Amino acid sequence: MTPLEQYALLLGMILATFGLVALLYLIGRSLGPTREEPGKDVPATAGSLSPKPAWVRYHVHYYGFALLFLAFDMEMAFMYPWAVVYRELGLVALLDMGVFLAILFLGLLYGWSQGALRRQ
């Protein structure tokens, strides 16, 4: 497959995606208009109104946990394709993964030094 054919295929997939989104939007609009209700925009907790606004309920400490989770989740997402091509690339792939893991380890050390792993 030539590069021009690959770009044409990519363009076709992008256009098909936009077409699907537009079709779903039109189907949703054709089923009926939405009614404005004042209760739709109010944060609720287990069926009752929350006494606090949504931005007050979560402590900023949990964002550190979320960022560390995302970093190590992405690590696993990148390690599978790396393991598939490891035999073909050999030492170069091993060094690349070593650099990647070192960067993640530095991020973990930084989070640890900032107290992201401390219980409160």
Mean pLDDT, rounded, of the chain: 82
Residue with the bigger pLDDT between 61 and 85: it is 85
- The whole-number average pLDDT for the span 83-94 is 86
Tally of domains in the chain: 2
Q: What is the pLDDT of residue 77?
A: 84
In a domain, 38, yes or no: no
In a domain, 77, yes or no: yes
Nearest residue to 104 (alpha-carbon basis) of 59, 71, 66, 78: 71
In a domain, 108, yes or no: yes
In a domain, 1, yes or no: yes
pTM of the complete model = 0.46
- Same-domain status, 66 and 115: yes
Q: 29: domain range?
A: 1-33
- Per-residue model confidence as pLDDT tens digits over 10-24: 999 999 999 999 999
In a domain, 6, yes or no: yes
In a domain, 43, yes or no: no
CB 57 within 8 A of CB 50: yes
In a domain, 111, yes or no: yes
- Same-domain status, 58 and 95: yes
Q: What is the pLDDT of residue 107?
A: 82
Rg (the chain; Cα; Å): 24
- Same-domain status, 29 and 82: no
- Same-domain status, 75 and 19: no
Q: 104: pLDDT confidence band, cut at 50, 70 and 90? A: confident
From CA 8, how far away is CA 14, in angstroms rounded?
10
